[in-house]
Structures are given as structure tokens and as C-alpha cells.
Amino acid sequence: MSEHVQEFTDQNFDSDVAQSDIPVLIDFWATWCGPCKAIAPVIDEIAGEYNGKVKVGKVDVDQNQNTAMKYGVRSIPTLLIMKDGKVVNQIVGAVPKGNITTMLDEII
């Protein structure tokens, strides 16, 4: 994980994500998930490029099941984009970087 990617947990999700004053990109993942590993470098790149404009973080679904259930995450990787405490977009699966950045650019 890059220095710009935060770790979100059941304990800090509300304070770090739902109450964030900038949009948030959340990557729901697990250590055993191949596609999650494949998309991780893309998430790291986006975190660096959007530093200060978008908060980027990861939620390990095995360690933080309450948050995953709350947001209906059924398969991983799932990316949620939140703004003002609400989900504004969702991507399921490992997708090209452009798909993610296009959605982010629409809300910042």
C-alpha cells in the first residue's frame, strides 16, 4: 500500500469516510483475492495522483465484515466512491484505471 492509501476499518469508517469533507474511493479487498492484488497498483497510482482531492483507502473484508455488509459488498474487489457520506458510484471487479478516474473526475 502506498503512503497515500489509508486503511479503513469497522471502527474508523464513519469518522474517516462518511464524515470526510472530500470524496472517498474505497477498495473492498481481501489478501486471498487475485483480482484485488491485480488492481492494487492502480489504486496506489490513483491515490498519489488525486492526493488532496480524493481520499483513498482500503477495507479488508475479512477483518471488517460489518462495513462490507453495511454497503452490500458481495464480491471483491468492489470500489465505492462516496461523497458527502453517500455512495455515488460503485465498480465491481478489476477494471482499467480510466474507468475509475472518469468516475472520480465527474465528482471533484
User: Whole-angstrom Cα distance, residue 48 to residue 101?
Assistant: 12
pLDDT of 6-46, one tens digit each?
A: 999 999 999 999 999 999 999 999 999 999 999 999 999 99
**Which residues are the active-site residues?**
33, 36
Q: Average pLDDT, stretch 83-95?
A: 96
Architecture of domain 5-107: 3-Layer(aba) Sandwich (3.40)
Instruction: Report pTM.
Output: 0.96
- 50 by Cβ neighbours in 10 Å (0-12 / 13-18 / 19+) ranks as buried
pLDDT value of position 49 = 97
Residues 6+ apart with CB under 8 A from 82: 17, 18, 20, 23, 24, 26, 88
Residues 55-76: pLDDT tens digits? Answer: 999 999 999 999 999 999 999 9
Ordered by start, the domain boundaries in the chain are 5-107
